[in-house]
Amino acid sequence: MSYFSVKNIVKSFGNTEVLHGVSFTMSNSKRVALVGKSGSGKTTILRIIAGLEIPNSGEVEIAGKKVNSSSDYTKPEDRHFGYVFQNHTLFPHLNILQNITFGISDENKGRKKEIALDYLSMLGLESKLKNYPHELSGGEKQRISIIRTLAAKPKLLLLDEPFSNLDKSTKEKLKEDLKSILDKEQIPTIMITHDAEDSFDLADKVILLDGGKIAAEGNPEELYNKPINEHSANYFSESTILERNDNQHFFEAINCNANRICIPTNSVRFKEEGQPAKITNKRFVGNGYLYEIECHGSVIKLYSQVSYDYEEINIEIDSGGIIVFE
């Protein structure tokens, strides 16, 4: 039985329907990422889950209790969900200790400080206890926002673009810290992001939204290696998608009878005894190179940590890695 579920959520703003029957479930202590371009519906579904928007129809349920349905509505403050907003929303007139302990109830002053220090020590921020938000960096503010939310012991943690507006090194450190603290706390978490890499780094389950519908869902490995449609392939990887009509010679050369295929980059490799090909483009991608290779009149992509010049080479295509799109 799932811990949390969203069932057939429909939402319109005026005459524009922005969510078209969105449904998904998650287990306790799991992490789900809702990913998609601007306008895909991810922010709206997060706000519905939090109780900040009311759907036209559908249900939101947690631990067997409906918090949204045709006959039930629980106010945001009564859901006991934690919502970390994109813009930090720390109280500027309170120091860090006061910010963190603001949402802690049923504890005396000494115990509240202990809880705050426990969380701060997890992230190496004990020295910031008496600082004010304007004295913190962007990454530190985001960490404090997350700590403040977790300190209130929510039933569900909601993260709105937690890594936006951060430089790469700060973002990577925040991801490490967030994974560490969520692993320890075991709080079920839903994150929204437009960045596929961020969703892969943090989530157990990734849901791709497109035009208010779920286009694909699965664990990061499934979505990267076995995309189920063109939108998923383009969003999560550098796969090549080819139509037989435009690439007849290539399809014949690899003995493929399908009409439309997806070739992941990890299904193509350089090999001396392979098929003749030519490098037409090369791009450095941090820990290797992404190549565009012309083979039998068609251009496909290949990733390798080895650097080659623009030259004629040979490649091998793993037929077992080719995905057929109907």
DSSP character string of 106-128: SS-HHHHHHHHHHHHHHTT-GGG
Cα gap 240→300, rounded to integer Å:
6
231 to 36, 209, 236, 272: CA distances (angstroms): 10, 10, 9, 33
Total-model pTM: 0.90
- Sign of CA pseudo-dihedral 271, 272, 274, 280: positive
Is residue 326 over pLDDT 80?
Answer: no
**Class for domain 239-324, per CATH?**
mainly beta
Q: Name the superfamily (CATH) of residues 4-233.
A: P-loop containing nucleotide triphosphate hydrolases (3.40.50.300)
Question: CB count, 10 Å around CB of 88?
Answer: 18
Strand partners, 291: 282, 302
Question: CB count, 10 Å around CB of 238?
Answer: 16
Residue range 21-59, pLDDT digits in tens: 999 999 988 999 999 999 999 999 999 999 999 999 999
Query: What percent of the chain has a predicted confidence (pLDDT) above 90?
Result: 81
Q: What is the pLDDT of residue 322?
A: 94
Residue range 243-283, pLDDT digits in tens: 999 999 999 999 999 999 999 998 999 998 899 999 999 99
- Kindly state the average pLDDT of the residues 94-118: 92
Q: Where are the domains of the chain?
A: 4-233, 239-324
- Kindly state the average pLDDT of the residues 75-80: 94
> Which of 232, 236, 168, 159 lies closest to 202 in space, CA to CA?
159
Q: What is the pLDDT of residue 1?
A: 67
Residue range 140-157, pLDDT digits in tens: 999 999 999 999 999 999
Mean pLDDT, all residues of the chain? 93
Is residue 175 over pLDDT 70?
Answer: yes
Residue range 219-244, pLDDT digits in tens: 999 999 889 999 999 999 889 999 99
Cα gap 20→215, rounded to integer Å:
12
